Structure 1
Amino acid sequence: MYTREQASQLRQAFWTTFGQYIAPHLSAEGLRTNWVNYKTGLPGVAFKMDADKKSASIAIEINHADPELQELFFEQFVALKTLLHETLEEEWEWALHTTDEYGRTVSRIYKEISPVSVFNKDDWPTLISFFKPRIIALDAFWSDAQYSFDALR
């Protein structure tokens, strides 16, 4: 078992390592980007990567407080589902109106792997290999798809 501080330090060390590893990669538009804290530029829509002691996930998270607005955004992603899956080269899970770790209603399009642990440095190569191609593919998808959301801004 790790203390809360040790766990926090290990998490931070992983994300720092991942950030350094992926930093040389430019975005689909040829720009430097903060891959760990990816900004979609669309309020209420985020690309999130998470790793804990049992699993890891990468997601498109729609977190508007208004469930009807959340559903509109989700439906727009559904309209782009083929493009998304082709860009990712795999299918992801789709969940309309689920809850996040804080009990808030969110909608998610995500991919998960387990068993892996961010606290086991031997798993870090697996985690990096999981996150890297997917966040790069999400960026490539978003560079085209973001304009489909202009009417919802």
Structure 2
Amino acid sequence: MYSRAETSRIRKEFWIKFGQFMKPVPNAEGRRINWPNYKTGIKDIYFRMKAERDFVSVGIEIAHGDAEYQELIFDHFTQLRKILESCTQEEWDWVLHHENEVGQIVSKIEKVKKGLNVMEEKDWASIISFLKPRIIALDEFWDLVKPGFEDL
């Protein structure tokens, strides 16, 4: 069992390594980007990457406090589903109104892979291999559709 401090250190070390690995990769506009802390530029829409003890995930999180407005944004993403699937070359899971780990109601569109453990350094290459193409594809998707969210 890991102490809280050791768990925090290992997770931090993984995200630093991931950031270093991704540093030379430009975004869809050809600019340098901080991939682990991707900024969508739209309030309440986040790209989340998680690496936990039993899974890894990447996705879009809609965290607006108003449930109806959150659903409106989610519906707008739903209309763009084919574009997302074209960019990612796979289907993702779509969940409207889900309680996240801090008790906030969010909606999410994500891809999850079970069986990888961020606490095991031997899994890091597999975690990075899962995250890298999907966050790049998500950035490509966002480059195409972001203008449609700026006026919502």
Q: Same fold (TM over 0.5)?
A: yes
- Output one character per residue of 1:53-87: Cα deviation in whole Å (capped at 9) or x when no partner: 11111110000000011001001100100000110
Query: Which residue is 2:27 aligned to?
Result: 27
Query: Which residue is 1:142 aligned to?
Result: 142
CA shift for structure 1 position 151 = 2.2
Q: Equivalents in 2 of 1:51, 1:25: separation in Å?
A: 20
Query: Which residue is 1:57 aligned to?
Result: 57
Q: Equivalents in 2 of 1:76, 1:35: separation in Å?
A: 24
Query: Which residue is 1:72 aligned to?
Result: 72
- Count of residue correspondences: 152
Instruction: Return structure 1 stretches of 4+ with deviation > 4 angstroms.
Output: none
**142-151 or 73-82, larger mean C-alpha shift:** 142-151
TM norm structure 1: 0.98
CA shift for structure 1 position 98 = 0.7
Unmatched 5+ stretches in structure 1? none
- Output one character per residue of 1:6-57: Cα deviation in whole Å (capped at 9) or x when no partner: 0000000000000000110000001000100000000000000001111111
Query: Which residue is 1:126 aligned to?
Result: 126
- Output one character per residue of 1:83-106: Cα deviation in whole Å (capped at 9) or x when no partner: 001100000000000110011100
Query: Which residue is 1:85 aligned to?
Result: 85
RMSD of aligned residue pairs (Cα, Å): 0.5
Equivalent residue of 1:118, what SS?
Answer: coil
Query: Which residue is 2:40 aligned to?
Result: 40
Q: Equivalents in 2 of 1:54, 1:63: separation in Å?
A: 24
Query: Which residue is 2:117 aligned to?
Result: 117
CA shift for structure 1 position 148 = 1.2
Q: Equivalents in 2 of 1:84, 1:50: separation in Å?
A: 19
TM norm structure 2: 0.99
